[in-house]
Amino acid sequence: MPTVFAAGKTIECDRGANLRDLLLRQGIALYNGKASLINCRGIGSCGTCAVAVEGEVSEANWRDRTRRSLPPHERQRSLRLACQTQVLGDVRVTKFDGFWGQGTIPVWTSDCQPQ
């Protein structure tokens, strides 16, 4: 059973669990600021659930790759859309600042709670 480390929490889940759904069910603030109200609800079009992931997850699908190729995201940056990511093994998650999570300052990491 995979384990997800995010915002100072340790969460066990089924293999193939959707990362966005898992984090939200655990009460983890996945969205920055008004993005908690203004987001695509998991269809992969807004890009506000972008996070850094370390560990075994699904390959980026076309929605994930396409949205992250558009500003303010940068194609070369190794972020993923949580809504389009399935957990396949143990994963560490970091959320960055910026409306779309595209910033460089961590809002929370796998070890630290949100500030």
Please state, in angstroms and rounded to a whole number, the distance separating the CA atoms of residues 41 and 60: 18
Q: Which of 25-34, 38-47, 77-86, 103-112 has the lowest mean pLDDT?
A: 103-112
What's residue 74's pLDDT? 86
What's residue 35's pLDDT? 96
What's residue 75's pLDDT? 79
Helix (H/G/I), strand (E/B), else coil: 69 = coil
Cis upstream peptide for 72 (omega within 30°): yes
Please state, in angstroms and rounded to a whole number, the distance separating the CA atoms of residues 12 and 81: 20
What's residue 115's pLDDT? 60
User: What are the tens digits of pLDDT across the range 46-105?
Assistant: 999 999 999 999 999 999 999 999 999 987 788 999 999 999 999 999 999 999 999 999
Q: May I ask the CATH architecture of the domain 3-108?
A: Roll (3.10)
Helix (H/G/I), strand (E/B), else coil: 56 = strand
Rg, C-alpha atoms of the chain: 13
Structural domain boundaries of the chain? 3-108
Helix (H/G/I), strand (E/B), else coil: 109 = coil
What pairs with residue 87 in β-bridges? 17, 57
